[in-house]
Chains A and B, each alone.
Chain A
Amino acid sequence: MEFIIETLNLTKKYGELTAVDNLNIQVREGEVFGLLGPNGAGKTTILSMLSTMLNPTSGTATVNCYDILKEPAGVRKSIGVVFQESVLDERLTGRENLDIHARLYKLPKGIRKVRINEVLELVELKDRANDLVKTYSGGMKRRLEIARGLVHYPKVLFLDEPTLGLDPQTREHVWAYIRELAQKEKMTVILTTHYMEEADSLCNRIAIIDYGKIIALDTPENLKNTLGGSSIILQVFDIEKAKMLFPNARISRDKVILPVKRIETDIGRIFRTAIKNQLQIYETRIHTPSLNDVFIFLTGREIREEKPESNNKKVNGG
């Protein structure tokens, strides 16, 4: 089998609203695949359908060769899910939460203990494992949830906004874990996020989603390169001289825009040329397109950074 996840015209409608619109994606084994888009774009709905928590209105998908509609049990065995909102039992200890999880996934007794210690080590929660979860900080809870998603060695790990509401330092920490996991365990990771840097720094490929549709799908580099890569922008007094010295530059009023491949080496070369020819530069800027630029370019809007949703929000499962 070529793809570990494949969706076929996956669609979810809520009355008039189409949350997910004929989605077709293919994810290869071992990939870190990102679903990037603003809140309400349909990312969580896609994950809910792929994890068999929600039935699609039409279309289907396979996860690890199991059809989400016909073989939900097979799908569930293959996946680990870290939900957007915390689903820990705060009245139990960290270790007990992991133990219940291991039992729900039917790990044999001997293996349970080994795996639990292993994941606790990974997320650096071994010292606090026997404390009640309600005494944990937000970052610790998030790490515990990621650890829990890994206890049963899933083929695919779904992470729904893994760092939502975390402080920047903890966020970096969580990213490091995810990166390490994907490399070490050869696990396929599907993550949703509305943080540009998160998608950029973690994902092999990114699908940009808006209004339930994919509007772009590629590696972060290629997505950014669609906007023409990095450039150095010089503001000079003598435009004509600049034109002569840098024939490949684009000129916009008093600005000279120089497309560059590697800023680190190219910037020295440009300045040497300028100094040798006595071209006076009064301002220099470096522009590297971000995924945010890509999103603005594609939709004409910016992805808003929204406040995390409250964990107390009611979840209508069950």
Chain B
Amino acid sequence: MGIELNIVYTVWMRELVEHVRDREKLISSLAMPIFWFIIFGTGLASSISFKGLEGINFSDFLAPGIVAMPLLYTSILSGISVIWDREHGFLKEMLVAPVSRLSIVIGKALGGATIATLQAISVLVLFILLGIKLTFFTFILVPAMLVMSLGFVGLSIIFASLLKTMEGFNLVLNLGLAPIFFLSGAFFPIGILPAWLRVLSQVDPMTYGVELLRYISTGSSYIPFYVSLPVVLIFSITTIIIGSYLFTRKQ
């Protein structure tokens, strides 16, 4: 079973077209990170000072964490489109066509990751306009964001393939999303956490994504990039492989 590029493109395109048509989703996905930035960036920064920022402005520290938000949320939600297709039957239309299931799942994964990355880029552009300082290497952020997003899209496809129903999927989302996000150190340096919490933080894949983005944009991070980069890569490759396997299984 191979990958047919034109089929991957077709499935990818469908995901994008449908996302762009969904105005509410489009707006809310951009509004959420901005709210967080305003609340944390101004409210929290003026009242608390963190140790371990090593001379970096809190807003600059926070920016990559907020940029990472759509990379987690939008990517994890992309599995909904798999369940939607199954519940509304369109999955059947694709599965009965003479194409490999692998092409379909790869198209879906790339579609979800593209949407998440485009959202992260929009947030980033907004921050640049707001005067966030970034390093020269900012352009490397885009491939890093794409890889990080693919990891969570893969995780989402795993859950969507296992859980079958929208209710089950939502339940897992509600339980899992907040800890993944808040343990990741998007809002605070994980170096200040007590040891037991830091351990939890270090098993959270999101932590490595945030730290990677932070290293690229500010030039410093708690976890060095030679650790975060391979972890993010391995996480993405693993979840995509498992997700594809579960999706392509014939019942």
A residues neighboring B (CB under 8 Å): 51-53, 55, 73, 76-77, 79, 81, 83, 85-92, 96, 100-101, 103-106, 148, 311-312, 314-318
Provide the main secondary structure of the chain A interface: loop
Residue interface bits B17-28, CB-to-A below 8 A is 1, else 0: 110011000000
**Chain B, Cβ-Cβ closest to A81:** B96
Among A73, A100, A106, A317, the residue within 8 A (CB) of B92 is: A317
Contact status of A89 and B96, CB under 8 A, knowing A103-B7, A316-B251 = no
Chain A residue at smallest Cβ distance from B19:
A91
Please indicate the chain A residues that have their CB under 8 angstroms from the CB of B22 in the complex.
91
B81-106 interface mask toward A, CB cutoff 8 Å, 1 = contact, 0 = none?
01001111111111111110000000
A53 & B86 in contact (Cβ 8 Å cutoff)? no
- Please give, as numbers and ranges, the residues of chain A lying within 8 Å of B161 by CB-CB distance: 318
Contact between A91 and B89, CB atoms less than 8 A apart: no
CA distance A15 to B137 in the complex (A): 61
On whether A100 and B14 interact (CB within 8 A), knowing A91-B21, A315-B87, the answer reads yes
In the bound complex, how far is the Cα of B101 from the Cα of A52, in angstroms?
Answer: 13
B97-A87 in contact (CB<8A): no
A92 and B86: CB pair below 8 A?
Answer: no
- Cα–Cα, bound, A56→B82 (Å): 26
Asked if A103 contacts B10 (CB within 8 A), the reply is: yes
Q: Is the CB–CB distance between B250 and A86 below 8 Å?
A: no
Nearest CB on B from A140, distance (A):
17
* Top-10 shortest CB links A-B: A87-B89, A104-B97, A76-B98, A103-B10, A77-B98, A87-B93, A317-B92, A317-B91, A87-B92, A89-B90
Closest to A75 in B: B98
Contact partners of A77 in chain B: CB under 8 A = 98
A–B pairs, 18, beta carbons within 8 Å: A76-B97, A76-B98, A81-B96, A83-B92, A85-B89, A87-B88, A87-B89, A87-B90, A91-B22, A103-B6, A104-B7, A104-B97, A106-B4, A312-B87, A315-B86, A316-B86, A316-B164, A317-B251
A90 touches B18 (CB 8 A): no
| B202-217 interface bits toward A, Cβ cutoff 8 Å, 1 = contact, 0 = none | 0000000000000000
Residues on the B chain within 8 Å of A79, using CB = 96
- In residues 16-49 of chain B, which contact A (Cβ within 8 Å)? 17-18, 21-22
Residues from chain A with a CB closer than 8 A to the CB of B164 are 316
Count B interface residues, CB 8 Å: 31
Q: Could you tell me which B residues sit within 8 Å of A by CB distance?
A: 4, 6-7, 10, 14, 17-18, 21-22, 82, 85-99, 161, 164-165, 247, 250-251
How many Å from the CB of A107 to the closest CB on chain B? 11
Interchain CA distance A316-B89 in the complex, whole Å? 9
Q: Which of A55, A92, A104 contacts B94 (CB 8 A)?
A: A104
Contact residues in B for A73 (Cβ distance below 8 Å): 98
Cα–Cα distance between A76 and B250 once the two chains are bound (Å)? 15
Q: How far is the CB of A136 from chain B (nearest CB, A)?
A: 14
Give the complex CA separation of A6 and B203 in angstroms: 56
Residues in chain B near residue A318, CB distance under 8 A: 82, 85-86, 91, 95, 161, 247, 251
A315 smallest CB distance to B (angstroms): 5
Q: Are A83 and B89 in contact (CB under 8 A)?
A: yes
Chain B residues with CB under 8 A of A106: 4, 6-7, 98-99
Q: Is the CB of A76 within 8 A of B18?
A: no
CA distance A53 to B88 in the complex (A): 17
Interchain CB contact under 8 A, B14 and A104: no
Question: Quick one: closest A residue to B1, CB to CB?
Answer: A73
Q: In the complex, are the beta carbons of A86 and B96 less than 8 A apart?
A: no
| Closest chain B residue to A77, Cβ basis | B98
Q: How far is the CB of A95 from chain B (nearest CB, A)?
A: 12
Q: Are B98 and A105 in contact (CB under 8 A)?
A: yes
What CA separation (Å) do A103 and B93 show in the bound complex? 12
Q: How far is the CA of A116 from the CA of B171 in the complex (A)?
A: 41
Which residues of B have CB within 8 Å of A100?
10, 14
A79 vs B93: C-alpha distance when bound (angstroms): 12
Whether B96 lies near A314 (C-beta < 8 A) is no
Expressed in whole angstroms, the Cα–Cα distance for A53 and B165 within the complex equals 20
| A92 interface neighbour in B17, B95, B96, B99, Cβ under 8 Å | B17
The answer to whether A104 touches B99 (Cβ under 8 A) is yes
Which of A86, A104, A106, A311 neighbours the largest number of chain B CB atoms within 10 Å of its CB? A104
**A254 vs chain B, min Cβ distance (A):** 57
Given A73-B98, A105-B98, 11 other A-B residues pairs in contact with their CB atoms under 8 A: A79-B96, A83-B93, A85-B89, A86-B89, A89-B14, A92-B14, A103-B6, A315-B87, A315-B91, A317-B95, A318-B86
